[in-house]
Amino acid sequence: MSTVLTRDGEAIARSLRSLMSEEVAVSESLRTMSPRSVDALWESGLMNYCNPVQAGGAEPTFPQMIAMWIEMAWQDGSLGWIGIANLPSAAACAAYLSDEGFDEVFTQHDNRTTVGGQFFPNGMGETVDGGYRLTGAWNFGSGTGHAEYVAAGFMPSVNGEMVIGDDGMPPLLVAVIPRDEIVFTDGWHVQGLKGTGSYDYNVTDLFVPADRTFELFCQTPQRGSAAAYSLGLMAITAAGHAAWALGVAKSMLDDVMELATTKVRMGDESSLANKSTFQRGLSHHLAMWRAARLLVVDAFSDAEAKVLAGEKLTPTDRADLRIAATYATEASREIVQWAHLAAGTSAIREGSRLERAFRDMYTGTQHAFISEKTYTDSARLYLGLIDDQFGM
């Protein structure tokens, strides 16, 4: 494993283009990242790039992470999804676990620890001496096909009764569980993102020590000085979804531009590149992509600057991050739809980059994190109808 990490995650990812291109079909067939792909992510230093330094990471800035994720998703939607799933999951565990938990999960494994899973609190953890007895079932555990540890969100209980905090809401926790203690039920037979190994899984009355748990909305890192750790998982997740969508959309824009110089559609006298309707559509959607990317980079750079200056984000600041991510996702989906139609039958050939990116986009955009509820919740904040929004 590489022991010297460059801070340029985009360059690291770009260096893997040839290898990942060779492995795409293998990963889709396996329905999880191929062993060669996983090894390459580790050997390049990319798999722990987002981690705190103490866990072998580079503690990148938001613009650096966004550029890296765009490049990964440009290569392949499943690879990009692994980038926004495994990398932040490990980084969060490394940043927020107690010293004892960090030692068990990271130090004892020479920091070669991959984490995947579902952080939504679909489990209940009965409070017992030293930890919790956890029962629950989680769907779409991104990146669990090759993860040594699996994250599982849950709510604590005492004597069977859900714990309620001083704010009237239950505390939301994340358990970090060794792979061999998880019951996998798979279920990953899907339209797109086939290579992500996003399996369903469950546990029943499993003891999880408190040292292997942390608060879902934690913004007080135990280690690492990057602003991302102080902004928390919601901000990191929003940046990841936005960058993933932008990367997939850019791949289709680039591929349809290359195709346009040679493709002559039935009934046309010249190539697609010479059609004024294609030219207009291309310019419009390139501008849309650039505008969406600039919005995302600007929003997350502003938030990062505030945190580094010692300021706390306001509810509307956090809303800005979420709507930037949702807008970038919607813009990217529109770009992909245009590129798919412009490419004609070239976009429906199984195994082509265009066909795969289209499937991936319409799978990834089903995620609840970037649904229209983000817009309505944010609007209520902007309009002063509410003072804050739980989970924003």
- CA–CA separation, 158 vs 365, rounded Å? 37
| pLDDT at site 1 | 36
Read off the pLDDT of residues 333-359 as tens digits, 9 standing for 90 and up. Answer: 999 999 999 999 999 999 899 999 999
Give the contacts of 23 (CB within 8 A, at least 6 positions apart).
34, 36, 37
Q: Where are the domains of the chain?
A: 9-109, 115-215, 232-382
Q: How far is the first Cα of the chain from the last one, in angstroms, to the nearest whole number?
A: 37
Task: Give the pTM.
Answer: 0.95
Per-residue pLDDT at 279 exceeds 50:
yes
Instruction: Tell me the average pLDDT across 360-372.
Output: 93
**Residue located via tokens 């490049």:** 71
Domain 115-215 is found in CATH 2.170.150.20? no
Task: Give the pLDDT confidence of 19-60 residue by residue, as tens digits.
Answer: 999 999 999 999 999 999 999 999 999 999 999 999 999 999
Q: Which CATH superfamily is domain 232-382 in?
A: Butyryl-CoA Dehydrogenase, subunit A, domain 3 (1.20.140.10)
Q: Please give the Cα distance from 340 to 220 (Å, whole number).
A: 44
Beta bridge partners of 134: 125, 206
Region 255-269 average pLDDT: 86
Amino acid 2: pLDDT:
39
Burial state string for 193-223 with b = 16 or more CB within 10 A and e = fewer than 16:
bbbbbbbbbbbeebebebbbbbebebbebbb
**Burial of 89: CB neighbours in 10 Å, binned 0-12, 13-18, 19+:** buried
Q: Which CATH number does the domain 9-109 belong to among 1.10.540.10, 2.60.40.2230, 3.40.1010.20, 1.10.340.30? A: 1.10.540.10
What would the pLDDT profile of 196-233 be if each residue is shown by its tens digit? 999 999 999 999 999 999 999 999 999 999 999 999 99
> Is 113:104 a contact under the CB 8 Å cutoff?
no
Give the pLDDT confidence score for residue 390 in this predicted structure: 85
